[in-house]
Structure 1
Amino acid sequence: MSKTVFVLNGPNLNMLGKREPGIYGGQTLKDVEEACIAAGRELGLTIDFRQSNHEGTLIDWIHEAGEKALGVAINAGAYTHTSIALHDAIKAISVPVVELHISNVHAREEFRHHSMIAPAVKGVICGFGTQSYILALHALKSATA
């Protein structure tokens, strides 16, 4: 079985380090990618790290992960709260998926309190800053052991 985990990032996450640093912190997406690769190495995982502002691209990557990966960690950004299509894509694959968020979405605007993808995923991690990514990798490693 593949030891690859897809780490997928949705809209506006390419703006990390610039967009609302009081909420999302000062790390860039490249910093997060490097931290994930390092953590993956420690866990014996290969990290395939991607970002897109396009819903269809994320869906294609989820389908690809279903064929090639051990699991998926996804920060779907705003699509978390709106995308039935991402929900359906996650349900269509058999590998575990962990939803993650940098901020505690439940302590923010009410529209962020509901996740369309949460019912389709193995678990949800939120509110630990960019460490949420590392926690998701640990969760996937445990879920597939």
Structure 2
Amino acid sequence: MQGLRVPNAPQWRIAVIQGPNMSALGKRDPGLFGSVRSLEDLNDQLDGFAAKIDVELRHFSSNIEGEILNFIHYSDDVDAFMINPAGLTMLGMATRDALLDSGRPYLEVHFANLAQWFSTSGTPDAKSIFSHGASGVMEGLRHHGYVGGMLALTLALDDQSFLGKTARTNTHRKES
């Protein structure tokens, strides 16, 4: 992965948040969720890729919105968030507001293409309430979207003309 990032890029800290129902990963429709056997399996894959691009991940998963809120509120040591709101996608306004209030960029990620998912689930007009405030959205690529999203978010943090300028105000990160 040499050469993907700018020379002397800092090691960013990204919190990966998994919302309600993600703890059942591996027990859900393999046509939609692919070969990932468990949330731990997904986290291991993400940690492996993060090490290749010199990113530190902090994982959090909960089926309870209040626990997710507390995690966001007390994550002052991260530069950005990646969140799969899962069961909160249409209704998690408090979580969305906490992410916006954090002042840090966040990437929304989903295994499924939401437009396709909503149309087949009988809610074709449904929308994610997270997307409008997100720095980016990655969906429909199963677990591969997390890897692509992590790379894109990292490169965006490196880019001072985009997200990096804001993220660089955090003083806890270590320079490579």
TM-based fold match above 0.5: yes
Consecutive unaligned residues of structure 2, counting only runs of 5 or more, are 1-9, 159-176
2:149 to 132, 136, 144: 136
- Partner amino acid, structure 1, of 2:84: N
Consecutive unaligned residues of structure 1, counting only runs of 5 or more, are none
CA RMSD of aligned residues (A): 1.6
2-side partners of 1:118 and 1:63: how far apart? 20
2:64 to 45, 51, 54: 54
- Partner amino acid, structure 1, of 2:109: L
1-side partners of 2:33 and 2:139: how far apart? 12
Q: Number of residues paired by the alignment?
A: 144
- Partner amino acid, structure 2, of 1:144: L
Which residue of structure 1 aligns with residue 131 of structure 2?
118
Question: Could you say which structure has the higher helix fraction?
Answer: 1
Which residue of structure 2 aligns with residue 97 of structure 1?
106
1:69 to 65, 75, 78: 78
What's the % identity of the aligned pairs? 26
- CA shift, 1:2, in A, is 6.5
Which residue of structure 1 aligns with residue 23 of structure 2?
14
1-side partners of 2:23 and 2:35: how far apart? 12
2-side partners of 1:45 and 1:64: how far apart? 20
TM-score (norm 2): 0.76
2-side partners of 1:135 and 1:64: how far apart? 26
- Partner amino acid, structure 1, of 2:132: P
TM-score (norm 1): 0.92
SS state at 2:89 partner: helix
CA offset digits 1:25-81 (Å, max 9, x no partner): 23121111011101110111111111100001111122223x110111000102011
- State yes or no: 1:35 paired with 2:48: no
Instruction: Label 1:17 to 1:26 Cα distance change in 2 as closer, same or farther (>3 A).
Output: farther
Contact 1:63 1:93 in 2 (8 A): yes
Which residue of structure 1 aligns with residue 162 of structure 2?
none
Rg larger in structure = 2
1-side partners of 2:30 and 2:21: how far apart? 13
